[in-house]
Structures are given as structure tokens and as C-alpha cells.
Chain A
Amino acid sequence: MATSDGNNNINNAVNSVVNNGGNNDGNNKGQFRTYLERNLRYLTQLVAHAEPIPSPEIRSQALHTLSYALGAPESWHFTRDLLLQLAPKMEQAGHRYDWLPYLQHATAFSQQLGDWASTAEFTLQQGILHRLLSEFDLAQSSLHHSIALCQQQQIDRNQARALNELAWVEYLQSQTASASDHVQQALALLPADDPERAMCYRVQGMIAIAHERWSEAETLHRQALALFEGEGDQRKMAWSLQNLAYALRGQQRFEETIGYYEQAAELLQQMGDLYHWSVVQMNLGISFNQFGKPEIALNHYTTASSIPYNIMDAFHQARLSLNIAVSLLALAHFPNAESKFQEAIQLYSQIGSKAWRLNAMDGLAMTYIGWQKFDQAIQILQQALVELPAVLDAPNYPYLFRSLHQHWEEAHKKLHGNSHRPCEPPRD
């Protein structure tokens, strides 16, 4: 048992060591801060030169360093530089929920320090992450905040970037009118030769696709591709190749479609951008399904599903489920198609995508019709038709209206026989 004298001896011994080593006591904290700043500068260089993405070791070290740095206001400009280099690459490497707290912390810290330009950038990055997590409301909220700050600080280019990102989120939610407006605002802020205009064309191209204006979409995506090629931005080139393929698919130019998708997939794989590579695989599947090859389509969907679960967001999963269901339906695998359509319906509900949910319900009805379960088809279609008016503004509303009504009539005729006149479909 330690005696009081024994304890005093220990404390004296320890303190004497500390105090003797403590000629530099006052400098130790300063020295540690110097090390922190050098560490930050070194990592910033490493991250800047790491192509396409920093190694897992560098990323792990960066997060460790940031856990210290985000409590050191005096070192803020070094911390900020690392964060700005790191943010897009962490997203590209597939970091989501593990990276988000650092961005949130960085936002709060920069706000505290009154660094509004940095706050605007970090909220933009948060918006991108929320979008990739299918958290669209949070994405919009972050992006609006970023836009407001950029406007306040008169940082036109960054405001345009945030507007483009917001437009993209709106496009994903079928809010194409709003998306168009925001893209126009972004274009107005950008000089004629600014490469960021490519992102505007990208959104406009996808809006055109949503409205099946294929030729216009092709022109816009080629413009975007040319600008990205000029900048040497391989990742965005890959996105454009993919979008261009989509526009060509709508024009039934199938060989070109497959060629561009495959180019995009190769680039994205080289970039380590597994998420967007998975999207390309899905699109390849859709193309093969359209070409009448559902078995090959299913292979591509399986490949698309093979990415780590933490970068597979609900929106992408919903699309995959839907497309798998469509291929299964084409193969008359009704039980599996039913299951996948139901999964898609549930996922679209989860992310609040009403129009696509109705599309999935239509698919489920088609499955029941093929399966000769006409009463179940009618039940689903009934529900869908009641909900249809809620998506009046969606670009695919005309298609949904036509298709749901057509299947409603078909199901009734098959249930009751051709001579039977089906009752009017339900209206809101």
C-alpha cells in the first residue's frame, strides 16, 4: 500500500522530471502546433498530387490530423487548405457518413472564425454528400445556404457551382422547371469561356432527356464533353460520355450507345469512382434490355450491385431494383419481378420520388397482368391512378397517364372478358 510519503516522493520525482524537461515547457505547445501545421501542409501536398484519389493510408492520416486541427483556430488557414483539397477526393473515394461529420465540423468552425467563403464551400460539399446519400431535402437546404453565402460574398463562380448542384438535385427529383431556372441563373454568372458552363450543359442535357428531346440532349452533352476534355477532367468526361450514351440510346443508336458507356466505365474504374461506375453498369443493363437482351442486362445489374454497401444510396438502389424488375418481367420471371417491383416501390417511397414510384407500380401491374393475376393488377393500378394527379408537373406524367390507363383497361378486359366494358378508372 502506498504511503503518503511514498506518494509525495513519486509526485516530486515526476514533477522534477517534468520541470527539468520543462525549460522548454512554454515552447512545447508552440512546437506541437508547428508540427500540426507542417503535418497539414505536407498532407495538403500529398492529397493535391494524389491521382485519381489518395490512398487509404493518406486518407486515414488526413482524418487523424483533422481531428486535432479542427480545434486549433490559429492553424485554420492550413486546415482549410487541406479540407478544400480533400473534400472532392473523399467523395470520389466513396466516403459518406464517415466524412460528413468532418465537413459539418469544418462548416461550424469556419463560421465561428467568420470565414464565409470557406463556409460556403463546405456547405456545398455537404450538399453533394447529402445528394449522394439520397437525402435530397438536406441537400437542397445545404445548397441554398451555400448559394446565399456566395451571393453575400459576391463569389460568382462558386455561386454558379452551387446553383448547378442544386439544379442537379432538382432534376433527380423530377423538378425540371426549377432545375432549368437555376441553371439559367448559373449561366448568367459565368463568363463565356468558363469550364463550369459544362456542368450547366450537363443538367440541361439531362432535362432534355427527361422530356425525350434526344437530339437536343446529344448536342448539350457533346458541348459539356468538349469542355471537360479541354480541362482534362477525366471524371467529368466519364460522366459526359455516359450522359451522351443515354441521349444516343433514345435515338436508337445502339452500337454508339454501348461504345460510349464502355468508355465511361473504363475511365471511372481507373478513377476509383465506384459509385458512378456502378451507374454506368446499370445504364448498360438498361441498354441491353432495350435491345431485347434481358439476360445480359441482368448480368450488368448484378455487376452494378457489387459496390460496397456504404456507397450504394437509396436512389441508385431504387433504380437498380426497378431495372432488374423490368428485365425479369421481360423474361416472364413473375415472382421475382413482383418482388423487385415491390422493393422499388418501397425505396422510391422512402426517398419521396412520387413519379418514379408510380412508374414502379405500373411495372408491378404489368407483372400481375402477365401472371394472370388481374384482380391484383387492378388493385395496384387503382391506387396509382388516385396518386397520379400529384405528379402533374413531372416530365413523365404524360407517359404515366397513358400507361396506367392502358393497363387498367387491359386488366379489366382480361378479368371480365373482351365484351365487358371496364368501369371508369378512379380519379382524385
Chain B
Amino acid sequence: MVLRGAQLCYTEHMHTHPPNYAEPQSARLLEVLLSWDKRAPIDERFYSLRYFQGILAEKSGDAPLAARELLQRAIALLRQDKAEYADVLLAYLLSDEKVELAANRLNMGQATFHRKRKDALPKLAEKLEQLERICLADHRQRMTQRLPVQTYLARLGEQTEIASLCQLLRARTAPWLVAITGIGGIGKTTLADVIARQMIDDANWAAIGWLTAPQSILNAGGALATDARPTLTDSALIDGLASQLLDETSPNGRRTSAESLALLESLLKRQPHLIVIDNLESEADLKALLPTLRRLANPSKFLITSRSSFFAAPDLYHWVAPQLDVPNALALLRLEAQVRNIPEVLAASDVELLPIYDTVGGNPLALKLVSGQLRIYSLPTILEDLHKARTSHIEELYAHIYSRAWNLLGGRAQSVLLAMPLVSEQGGTIELLQAMCQLPDIDLNKSLELLISLNLVEVRGGLQRRNYTIHSLTRTFLHEQVIRWQQVTEITT
């Protein structure tokens, strides 16, 4: 009964608070402390503290017990600076002892007791704020570590569309399963990442989770694995979620998938979580996971990114990732030009750049690929070339753009790019590339620079260490090019 009551309280209080865990002001907490009454219901401002929410979960939803624990911890922290303040506050806030008795026990007069109490309460409020800051910082770090490495410079686009999607997710009603769909390179993962990062501080969510479905496997013959099995299986989903969400709460014991699923269900039903499942490529992927997602959802929500739609599932809300509009598309071209130092593009007017948009549309990856080619070719040359392709389906356009890029490369850079599928999605070092390609350093470096400038290779990592990898669409193109060459060979022989 207590737990149930606490769950209701949790839900109710969620609605009364601002959507984000704003930095707590010690002034607000001081108000709570000044009006503290041991017998009264717990002030709702405590519920806005993530630190308090954690203690509440530890105490199985017993709010008075959790509040008591919170104050004890803050007082223990205060004791390190001012032991006498701690003693006074313990007596005043947490003990049933009358003031005159407490003062006597502490060898002080009542007036002194009250004066110290008055001085101590602001200090205690500061300690509560300190605990909350530490908790928020820890929470942010843990949640951020679950997200993939941020690879985009900025997510351009209508902020209203991000806001509306966020509103949909925050609502305490269906849909519980939301899919961001769209073709490759439209920015689905980037959008999901932006949303996830925004939600980290959001009081609606106990935690954020992120799983990325692996891409289809290539074998060394160059053939893409074409079996219909989903790339993210049900058990991999459960194991992945369990390792992110369960290890922190129940570290003991090896569990079967069934046990993990039961624990996940209990956790996700008890506390709303936002889970992102990125890169489900096909309808088969979605179909395989839907039963488990349905079981785990409500009040938790799942945000899925996929190239496919699955309209057969009536409870799956489809949100089609829009292309960039003209201003944002041109802004992306200029941003790329700035990073890659293509002054001619920076200097170009909107009117000069607009035909690119007219041809490739507002697809971020396509725009990035074209901007890379602007280093090598003039705008009219590229436009003329793109003009031939402008009536084609966007994925045929990709093939065309990639083929064009391939042709720009020359032998050495082509050979480096051909090695890239053998680098893991997390990225490989220059030493690995060198071991494979066995080019003189200067040639490898030049090839890599060219590939990066053409947005065919992505750079990851930090200042001390760089890794190189390729976008999943580039990987697909390379796989199909290998197959295509193989097929061409077979036909001619």
C-alpha cells in the first residue's frame, strides 16, 4: 500500500514541477526548511530534487523516511564544517525532543539554540544544494556515457520540430513507442541524440538508455549478409538494457534473459525511462522487438530510429524525420565549408548555393558529401552533374554521389577507402590503417585528408588520440560496390 501510494505521489508531483531539473536554489530549499513540520506531508519541492528521488527509490517509496534520510545526509555533510550546527539541526528537524530539553542537552540556552538554528538552516540548505549538484553531475555523466560519441557539429533544423517531439515523449500518455523514420543520412540518429541529451536533466525520466542495433555483416566475399534475421535480437535488447539499467540497482547475480526481462519490466513500470533504440534497419528488426518493447513500455517510452516504417503496428507512432528547409540546408553547407576551409562556398550567395538544395534536397548527409566535392570541383561542374540525377530517387542519388566521390579519389585514396569496412564502427587508429594499406606515411596521410574532406571518412576521438571510421551509408555503398565489381567480373567472364 505504501509503495502504491508513493508511486501515485511520484506521478502527481511530476506534473507540478518544471520539466527540467533546474539548478536548485538554496533559497527555495531554505523556505522548505524554515516551514519544516515533521508531521506534515513532505513538501513537493523535495520531490523536484533528483537526489531525493534516488533516496525515495532506496526507501521503497516511503517519503517521510526518505526525507529523514535526506536531511540526515545533509546534516552529516554540515557536521564536517560546523558540528554544533549539526547537533542543533538534528534536534530541531529530526527529533521529537522539546526545544528546552534539546538546548539543555547541548549546554546552551534556548535563545542561543534558536539563534544557532537560524544561522544553521541556510547552511543546511546550501548542503542540500551541494548534494543535489553532485547527484545531477553524476547523473549527467552516467547518462551521457550511455550515448554514442557525438559526431555532429550542430543539429540544424526547425527547433519547433524537436520541441514537438519532446512534448510527445514527455506526455504521460500514449504513444509509448515512437519511431523516427526516414532515409539514410536524414539525421535520425542525430535527432535522437539531441533529444536524449536534452532529456538527461528532465525530471520526467529516472534515466536514459541507448542501444544501437549493429549493421548487417559483410563477409569477405564482399556479399552483404542477406538473411532475414534481425540484427538486434530480443535477447541482445534485454541484455543491453539490463547492463545499462539493472547493474546499477541490483549488481548481484547472473540472470537469465527471462529474469532480466522481469526485473526490467518492474523497473521501467515503476519509474519512467526514455530508451533510444537506434538504427533498426528493417521491418523485420522492428517486428522482432515490438512484443518486448510493448511489455516494457508505459510509463517508460521507447524512441526508435529506423529506415523502415511498420504501419502494421497500430501503437507505433511514426515521426518522419524532415529534411532541412532551405535556410538550414544552406547554413549546413556553410558550416561544412567553414570547418573544411572552403572559402569560396562561404563567400557564395544563397542564390548561388540554392541549386544544390534544389537537386539533393535537405538531406544532411547528401549536403555534406556535396560540400566535400566542392573542394575539388567548381560549383557549375557539380551542378551540371547533379542536374542529370535530380529526378532520381534519393537513394539512387546517393549511389551517384558516392560514385562521383569515388572517381575523385585516385588510386591510393580509393585503396584506403576500400580498407575502411574492416574498421569497426567505433573507429580504427592510423596504425591499423597503415598495417592494412601499407602505404608510405605521407601517402596515407594525404589520402586520409582527402577522404575526410570529402566526408567519406569520419574522425572520432579526442585530442590525444584520433580514430577513423565510415558512416553506415558509406559502408553500405562500399559493400555494394564490392558486390557490383564482383558481379561485373562474373558477367564478363
| Chain A residues packing against B (C-beta within 8 Å) | 1-3, 6-7, 9-10, 13-14, 17-22, 25-26, 28-29, 31-33, 35-36, 38-39, 41-42, 57, 60-61, 63-65, 67-69, 71-72, 75, 97, 134, 305-306, 308-314, 317, 320
- Contacts A6-B391, A13-B388 given; does A32 touch B253 at CB 8 Å: no
A62 nearest CB neighbor, chain B only: B424
Q: Which 5 pairs from chain A and chain B are nearest by CB?
A: A71-B219, A72-B220, A42-B435, A64-B424, A17-B403
Q: Which B positions have Cβ atoms within 8 angstroms of A?
A: 217-222, 239, 242-243, 246-247, 251-255, 388-389, 391-393, 396, 399-400, 403-404, 406-407, 414-415, 418-419, 421-426, 428, 431-432, 435-438, 481-482, 484-486, 488-489
**Cβ of A10: which chain B residues have Cβ within 8 Å of it?**
388-389, 392, 396, 399-400
Q: Known contacts A18-B481, A21-B406: does B220 contact A71 (CB below 8 Å)?
A: yes
Residues in A with CB closer than 8 Å to B219 are: 68, 71-72
Cβ–Cβ < 8 Å partners of A29 in chain B: 221-222, 482, 485-486, 489
Kindly report which residue of chain B lies nearest to residue A1, judged by CB atoms. Answer: B391
Bound-state Cα–Cα, A72 to B239, Å: 30
Which of A1, A61, A71 is B424 in contact with, Cβ under 8 Å?
A61
Task: Decide: A309 and B220 in contact? CB cutoff 8 A.
Answer: no
Contacts of A38 in B (CB 8 A): 435-436, 438
**Extra contacts besides A6-B392, A17-B404 (9): CB < 8 Å:** A7-B396, A10-B389, A22-B488, A25-B488, A36-B422, A65-B424, A68-B218, A68-B220, A308-B243
Consensus secondary structure, chain A interface: helix
Cβ contacts under 8 Å, A3 to chain B:
391
A318 to B372, CA, bound (A): 59
With known contacts A71-B221, A72-B220, A21–B422 Cβ distance under 8 A: no
What residues of B have a CB within 8 angstroms of the CB of A39 in the complex?
Answer: 419, 422, 432, 435-436
A69-B220, A309-B255 are known contacts. Are A19 and B488 too (CB-CB below 8 A)? yes
A309 touches B436 (CB 8 A): no
Do B388 and A9 touch (CB < 8 A)? yes
With known contacts A305-B252, A309-B254, A312-B254, A35–B419 Cβ distance under 8 A: yes
Option from B242, B391, B393, B484 in Cβ contact (under 8 Å) with A309? B242
- Cross-interface CB contact of A28 among B391, B404, B422, B485, cutoff 8 Å: B485
- A65-B242 contact, Cβ under 8 Å, with A14-B399, A17-B403, A36-B220: no
- Residue in chain B with minimal CB distance to A41: B435
Contact of B392 among A2, A31, A35 (CB under 8 A): A2
The reply to whether B485 and A18 contact each other, CB–CB distance below 8 Å, is yes
Task: Provide the bound-state CA to CA distance between A22 and B155, in Å.
Answer: 38
23 CB-based A-B contacts, threshold 8 Å? A17-B403, A17-B404, A18-B481, A18-B488, A28-B485, A29-B221, A29-B482, A31-B418, A32-B419, A36-B422, A38-B438, A39-B435, A61-B424, A61-B428, A64-B422, A67-B218, A71-B221, A72-B219, A305-B253, A309-B242, A317-B252, A317-B253, A320-B252
On whether A14 and B400 interact (CB within 8 A), knowing A2-B392, A22-B485, A29-B222, the answer reads: yes
Q: Chain A contacts of B407 at CB under 8 A?
A: 17, 20-21
Give A3 to B389 CA distance when docked, in angstroms.
Answer: 11
Closest to B424 in A: A64
- Could you tell me the distance between the alpha carbons of A360 and B23 in the complex, rounded to whole angstroms? 51
Residue of A nearest to B217 (CB): A67
Flag if B418 contacts A35 (CB, 8 Å): yes
CB distance from B214 to the nearest CB of A (A): 9
Contact A28 B406 (CB under 8 A): no
Asked whether A31 lies within 8 Å of B404 as measured between CB atoms, the reply is no
**With a CB–CB cut-off of 8 A, which chain B residues contact A13?**
388-389, 400, 403
Complex contacts, B426 vs chain A, CB 8 Å = 57, 60-61
The smallest beta-carbon distance between A43 and chain B, in angstroms, is 8
The CA-CA distance from A315 to B348 in the complex, in Å, is 69
Residue of B nearest to A56 (CB): B426
Query: In the complex, how many angstroms separate the beta carbon of B422 from the nearest chain A beta carbon?
Result: 5
Contact B247–A309 (Cβ < 8 Å)? yes
Which residues of A sit under 8 angstroms from B389, Cβ to Cβ? 10, 13
Complex CA distance for A14 and B395, rounded to whole angstroms: 12
Q: From B418, B428, B436, B481, name the one whose CB has the most chain A CB atoms within 10 angstroms.
A: B436
* CA–CA, A314 and B253, complex, Å: 7
- Which of B243, B253, B482 gathers most chain A CB within 10 Å? B253
* Bound form: Cα–Cα A313–B253 in Å: 7
| Nearest neighbor of A25 in chain B, beta-carbon distance | B485
By the criterion CB–CB under 8 Å, are A75 and B432 in contact? no
Return chain B residues, CB-CB under 8 Å to A69: 220
- Chain A residues contacting B481 (CB-CB under 8 Å) are 18, 28
- Docked complex Cα distance between A5 and B415 (Å): 33
Contact call B253/A312, Cβ cutoff below 8 A: yes
User: What residues on B are CB-neighbors of A35 within 8 Å?
Assistant: 418-419, 422, 436-437
Give complex CA distance A6, B488 in Å.
22
Residues of A within 8 A of B399 (CB): 10, 14
| Separation of A64 and B247 alpha carbons in the complex (Å) | 26
| A-chain residues with CB within 8 Å of residue B438 when the two chains form the complex | 38
Minimum CB–CB distance for B424 against chain A, Å: 4
| A428 CB, min distance to chain B CBs, angstroms | 32
In the complex, which of the residues A3, A21, A312 has the most CB atoms of chain B within 10 Å of its own CB atom?
Answer: A21
B251 touches A32 (CB 8 A): no
* Cα separation A309 to B243 with both chains bound (whole Å): 8
Nearest CB in chain B: distance from A217 CB, A: 29
Residue of A nearest to B486 (CB): A29
